[in-house]
Structure 1
Amino acid sequence: MTTATPPANGQVIALAHYSSRAVLETVLARTGTTFHQSVTLNAVVGKGGTVEHDWLIGRLTGALKIEESPAREIVDELAALKLLEESASGQVSLTDSGQELFDRIQPGVREVSARLYAGISAEDLATAGRVLTLVTERANAELGDA
């Protein structure tokens, strides 16, 4: 007996998110890194290793849907761990230790991603990407109107 595939909705999307995040957190736990810390490191690496402090705080509040104070705490934690360093000019840079940690995490992330997305066609992934991006844009617009 097979179960019909449910239509995409908030519950299906949330279950996929939380399930895949739980798997990711097992990878992160090996290095003592939290999910929020990994998002922060990814944001800095994605911009070449140095970003404006205010941009990073905005990225974290927007991506993680958290307030500014917890976002600042995450950046402060990573600075205290010597994974990021903040300059007097308002720049936040990845340290050598931060880059080493990022490089240690990535193979595990790639392995998990490969397993989770195995056998899903490029066309289906592209469609899912378009739909989820649109849902995210609409939800962000709703939040902006609040």
Structure 2
Amino acid sequence: MSTATAPTTLNPSIIGQAEKHHTAVLTRALAGTTLDEKQWIVLNQALAAGEPVEQGAHIARIAAMTQWAHTEVETALNALLAKDLLATTPHRLLEPTDTGKAVVSKVRTESGAIVAAAYGAVPAEDLATAARVLATITARMADELSHA
């Protein structure tokens, strides 16, 4: 009988597994919303901005954050406009509609309990260390990718 032991060091497999589990939680919360992951991120980030955003800048920011092609982000954004989850202001900026805000609230509520329980099992100082480590790894990889 073997027992699982905690990994002794951070590695791509551990990061990948964590990311896949985050995605699975999100997928469960998105069920019934008609949104896919790309649409969710574009909508959620528009709401997180706290104010209307310029479309081109929003697309560029999401593409950089996710490493998706600009066209993929634009397709997701256009789907959100068609679903009336995002709207264009009179000044040609994007903002979530009331329906879009309600969808974000629903998804955050449904995924939030699972995420909070998982992160709550880790001491705050360990989460702070993990955040610094992952931010450094991500920045280094982004730098390398920018040279390609």
Tell me the TM-score normalised to structure 1 length: 0.91
Q: Quote the residue 1:71 is aligned against.
A: 73
- Measure, in 1, the Cα distance between the counterparts of 2:118 and 2:6: 20
CA offset digits 1:81-111 (Å, max 9, x no partner): 0000124744111111111111222211211
Moved more, 125-134 or 113-122: 113-122
- Give the counterpart of 1:94 among 86, 93, 96: 96
Q: Quote the residue 1:5 is aligned against.
A: 7
CA offset digits 1:108-136 (Å, max 9, x no partner): 12112112223200011000000000111
In the TM superposition, 1:13-32 aligns within 5 A as: 13-32=15-34
Kindly indicate whether residue 131 of structure 2 is the aligned counterpart of residue 144 of structure 1. Answer: no
**Equivalent residue of 2:62, what SS?**
helix
Runs of 4+ displaced beyond 2 Å: 1-4, 30-33, 86-90
CA offset digits 1:18-57 (Å, max 9, x no partner): 1221122111114232111111112111111411101110
Percent identity between the two aligned chains: 29
- Give the counterpart of 1:61 among 60, 63, 66: 63
Amino acid at match of 1:134: T
**Is the CA contact (8 Å cut-off) linking 1:84 and 1:92 kept in structure 2?**
yes
Tell me the number of residue pairs that the alignment of Structure 1 and Structure 2 aligns. 146
Amino acid at match of 2:119: Y
- Give the counterpart of 1:36 among 38, 41, 58: 38
5+ unaligned residues in a row in structure 1: which ranges? Answer: none
5+ unaligned residues in a row in structure 2: which ranges? Answer: none
**Equivalent residue of 2:126, what SS?**
helix
RMSD: 1.6
